[in-house]
Structure 1
Amino acid sequence: MNTVASPGLRERRKVETWTALHEAAASLAQQRGLEQATVEAIADSAGVSARTFFNYFPSKEDAVLGLREPVLDPDESAKLTGARDLLAQASLLLVAVARSAIGDTDPARRRELLLRYPDLFQRHMEYIAKAEALVCGAVVEALSGEPSWSGGAAGFSPEDTARMIVMLASVPVRFRAKSPDFDPATGLTPEDLAPAVALFHHLQRKLS
């Protein structure tokens, strides 16, 4: 008699297959080079078919880096408000959404591969751009709920205003991520970002 796997079991199998494909892809790229890490070689190493590979990743670059489509948590985006430090809020949301795209993959290995292969770095930045677009949409919604922001700023539309806010919000994130004591394995917390945000505001006042 045929048995149907429970939803929980199916999800575990999907996670296991995703992980096997990512580990195979990253290991092949690291040990043999990105050119040798073909879809066929990755699938074979993971014990699945090439057809199955494309059920999990759109390209070998995504598999090597372990990239997923970024996700915006509605509960987190709902906390955005123009009534307080929107830059700090957007910075934290940007970190969370970007992290959803890379998950818990090995940060040291990912960094090594990104530095070694420009094609991987380009693909990584495409996902970061997707994360920024999601946060930008959330900022537009936050601005629409504040009378002082709803019309945009300095003659620019709310969409352009939100885009600039997100671009500015990425500055403290990049600054902190490039600090000597930054540990990519633990990521960025509000406490990590607070000094960088404070420095940003200080410089903004001095330069204005």
Structure 2
Amino acid sequence: MSETSSPGLRERRKVETWTAIHEVAASLALQGDAGQATVEAIADGAGVSPRTFFNYFRTKEDAVLGIREPFLDTELSGRLSTDDDLLGQVSRLLVTVARTAIGDTDSARLRELTARYPNLHKRMMEYMTQAEALVRESVAGLLANDPSWSAGAEGFGPEETARMLVMLAGVPARFSATNPDADVAQGLPEDLGPALALFHHLQRKLS
């Protein structure tokens, strides 16, 4: 196999091209009006064609933010179990799926961009909503196949129960991410343990 056809080399070049496009897009947006970061200007700055740009990003907003559509690995989804701290499992899965959209993007810069430009914040939230939908679908399937959950509760079926569970599971992640003492560059939290412990403590106190 020649060097130019090596899968490893092709993947590295894809990563390099993706990074180059994102860096140019983010720099243009931070230098002035985000409207200056047109697809043509971004592609020109990255040394690629507009057609190549769309092989890597769906929109210029995605390129500026450095985000992708989230995805849920079937293996991770299959690990969900109703046997042990389901809320904690779902909370951690939410963060994992959200990370597939954000990847290794500079979290501090991402926050600056979304704070400066409302349309970028909206785009970011669209992807986070997609991440929640992926997890909600997986959780609904889990509950539907578990006899102790499939009958529903309080008149609500597995899908509605899953929707509520995913909403609740998002609280520990948001709590950790917005902790005033957290490193702003950290982005999505790595360790949800303390936040989950507080959440469960409040559940016991309030129930």
Structure-2 separation of matches of 1:68 and 1:124 = 10
1:94 pairs with 2:102: no
Post-superposition shift, 1:112? Answer: 0.5
Structure-1 separation of matches of 2:164 and 2:86 = 12
Q: Deviations over 1:15-74 (max 9, x none)?
A: 111111011100110112211111111001000111211111111100001111112122
Paired-residue identity, %: 67
Is contact 1:115-1:121 (8 Å) kept? yes
Structure 1 range deviating more: 47-56 or 7-16: 7-16
Structure 1 range deviating more: 142-151 or 4-13: 4-13
Q: Deviations over 1:102-147 (max 9, x none)?
A: 1001111111011000000000000000100111111112213321
Structure-1 separation of matches of 2:169 and 2:47 = 42
- Indicate how the Cα distance of structure 1 residues 142 and 183 shifts in structure 2: closer, same or farther if over 3 A, else same: farther
Q: SS at 1:132's partner residue?
A: helix
Amino acid in the other structure paired with 1:188:
P
**What does 1:1-208 align with in structure 2 at a 5 Å threshold?**
5-186=5-186, 187-189=188-190, 192-208=191-207
Amino acid in the other structure paired with 1:63:
A
Post-superposition shift, 1:76? Answer: 1.8
Backbone CA RMSD of aligned residues: 1.7
Gaps of 5+ in 2: none
Q: SS at 2:150's partner residue?
A: coil
Post-superposition shift, 1:80? Answer: 1.0
Is contact 1:21-1:46 (8 Å) kept? yes
Structure-2 separation of matches of 1:33 and 1:110 = 16
Is contact 2:28-2:34 (8 Å) kept? yes
Q: SS at 1:81's partner residue?
A: coil
Amino acid in the other structure paired with 2:135:
V
Q: SS at 2:55's partner residue?
A: coil
Normalised by the size of structure 1, how large is the TM-score? 0.92
Structure-1 separation of matches of 2:95 and 2:151 = 27
Is contact 2:4-2:10 (8 Å) kept? no
Is contact 1:43-1:49 (8 Å) kept? yes
Structure 1 range deviating more: 141-150 or 158-167: 141-150
Post-superposition shift, 1:4? Answer: 6.1
Gaps of 5+ in 1: none
Normalised by the size of structure 2, how large is the TM-score? 0.92
Structure-2 separation of matches of 1:80 and 1:144 = 13
- Indicate how the Cα distance of structure 1 residues 184 and 76 shifts in structure 2: closer, same or farther if over 3 A, else same: farther
Number of residues of Structure 1 aligned to a counterpart in Structure 2: 205
Post-superposition shift, 1:94? Answer: 0.2
Is contact 1:83-1:146 (8 Å) kept? no
